[in-house]
Amino acid sequence: MARVLHVNGGAKEITYAKNSSAQKQILFLAKPFVEEALHEYFGGTQFPEKMIIADLGCSSGPNALTPALEIINVVHAQCQKRGRRLPEFMVFLNDLPGNDFNDVFTSLQQDFFSKLTEEEQCRVAGVPGSFYGRLFLSRSLHFVHSFSSLHWLSQVPPGLDAKSGAIQNKGKVYISKTSTKAVMDAYKQQFMTDFISFLKSRAEEVIPGGRMVLTFFGRMSKDPTAEEGFNHHTEMIAQSLMDMVFEGIIPEEKVDSFNLPCYAACTEEVKEIVEDEGSFVMDHLESMEVDVVDFEGDNVLLSRGERVARMLRVMLESILGYHFGMELMDDLFARHVDVVNGYLPTAYCKFTTFVLSLTRQ
């Protein structure tokens, strides 16, 4: 995962930078929770001279620097309101090593530093690595932000990957109506393992009273096979892959040995993990629906299916291409376009997103 997973960046024809309006919506929806967490933090007795901010899963493109700017703006407003001196800021941008950090650093001057005031003194550094382990010094972080990242798992659930030998999820790439209980349990257990590791790692790094605001894909239903947006799109990808198997383009065992390393949890699962791990107090857990159809930028003239397929492609192509071959990705996502345009109801273009706000005890 650390070596393969990344959104499409660089000079690719279909990039995350041009197909990330869904993530922009998520940032907008999460903004009130970020503001509230910062208001509550600065409303207490603590008022740091230096503020360390970590953005986990920063990705690249136009959204990469937005959270840090918004956090600094809110802190600036709080300092003015309370007659306090503005702290110096240190912003750490984290993602897996395959992320296009070059794009992020190239855009720093235009998209970040040029938007800061003279008072807002800030340093920025990139921190490559998985957030399912330690990344920062003990008790060093005041505020942690992460959006559209924690639904990714650290690995394919054990027993489902290609190395296991046994076929557990035949013809599918994620949990579906035909998946066995063993498949569902494997996904849930891997999410629990990863989320606990995330919380334990951040518990070492976040100061007492420090805050975290996390957004990630989830599901409304307790049933992991429920007919919701995320499940529908993974089901359609599996359908397109099996069509390619039928046409002799892909060996069937290639599909049988592939499972997406992600999980859309329900609110009950998230609450249980946070409460059982015990390092953080859960201030808020909100669920909302986000329309993933991109109506902005270069995509205004594209069909609904083309918009949806592009949004999924920039997120999933690195993994799908690694397993099935990059030369097959045009064919695969062209089929996805046809399925969405022909069959998918508009309602299924909406993904459930969680916003989780936490305080370090």
32: number of Cβ within 10 Å: 12
C-beta of residue 39 within 8 angstroms of C-beta of residue 140: no
Q: Residue 190 corresponds to which amino acid?
A: Q
Low-confidence winner among 58-72, 132-146, 268-282, 306-320 (lowest mean pLDDT): 306-320
pLDDT confidence of residue 7: 54
Residue 11 confidence (pLDDT) above 60: no
Residue 289 confidence (pLDDT) above 90: no
pLDDT confidence of residue 8: 55
Contacts of 167 (CB under 8 A, 6+ apart): 256, 257
264: number of Cβ within 10 Å: 27
pLDDT digits (tens, 9 = 90+) for 166-187: 678 999 999 999 999 999 999 9
Asked whether residue 1 is domain-assigned, the answer is no
Give the residue from 157, 184, 188 showing the smallest Cα distance to 1: 157
C-beta of residue 52 within 8 angstroms of C-beta of residue 141: yes
Provide the residue count of the chain. Answer: 361
Q: How far is CA 67 from the centre of its chain?
A: 14
Stretch 159-170: mean pLDDT: 74
How far, in Å, are 39, 178, 237 from residue 259 at the CA level?
A: 41, 14, 11
**Is residue 327 classed as helix, strand or coil in its secondary structure?**
helix
pLDDT digits (tens, 9 = 90+) for 140-159: 999 999 988 999 999 999 98
Residue 46 confidence (pLDDT) above 90: no
Asked whether residue 8 is domain-assigned, the answer is no
Asked whether residue 5 is domain-assigned, the answer is no
Percentage of residues in the chain having pLDDT higher than 90: 63
Residue 10 confidence (pLDDT) above 50: no
Asked whether residue 4 is domain-assigned, the answer is no
Asked whether residue 9 is domain-assigned, the answer is no
Contacts of 91 (CB under 8 A, 6+ apart): 53, 54, 55, 68, 122, 123, 124, 125
**Number of domains into which the chain is organized:** 1
Give the residue from 317, 184, 174 showing the smallest Cα distance to 239: 174
C-beta of residue 309 within 8 angstroms of C-beta of residue 340: yes
List the Cα angle 255/311/298 in 5-degree steps. 140
Residue 161 confidence (pLDDT) above 60: yes
Provide the pLDDT confidence category of residue 87 given band limits of 50, 70 and 90.
Answer: very high
Asked whether residue 6 is domain-assigned, the answer is no
Contacts of 139 (CB under 8 A, 6+ apart): 204, 205, 206, 207, 208
Mean pLDDT of the chain: 88
How far, in Å, are 102, 129, 186, 198, 238 from residue 59 at the CA level?
A: 11, 12, 27, 18, 26
pLDDT digits (tens, 9 = 90+) for 203-261: 999 999 999 999 999 999 999 999 887 888 888 899 999 999 999 999 999 999 999 99
For residues 322 and 260, what is the distance between their CA atoms, to the nearest angstrom?
12
Stretch 38-47: mean pLDDT: 80
pLDDT digits (tens, 9 = 90+) for 100-129: 899 899 999 988 999 999 999 999 999 999
Q: pLDDT: is 345 or 51 the higher one?
A: 51
For residues 169 and 156, what is the distance between their CA atoms, to the nearest angstrom?
12
pLDDT digits (tens, 9 = 90+) for 313-329: 888 898 999 999 999 99
For the chain, where are the E strands, in sequence order?
A: 50-56, 88-95, 122-128, 141-147, 206-218, 280-291, 350-360
Instruction: Count each helix (H run) and each strand (E run) in the chain, helices first.
Output: 10, 7
Side-chain-side CA neighbours of 152 within 13 Å: the count stands at 21
List the domain range (segments joined by +) for residue 223: 16-360
How far, in Å, are 236, 308, 309 from residue 339 at the CA level?
A: 7, 11, 10
pLDDT confidence of residue 292: 65
Residue 162 confidence (pLDDT) above 80: no
Residue 24 confidence (pLDDT) above 90: no
Residue 330 confidence (pLDDT) above 70: yes
Residue 41's CATH number? 3.40.50.150
Asked whether residue 325 is domain-assigned, the answer is yes
Scan for tokens 């998985």, then name that residue. Answer: 130
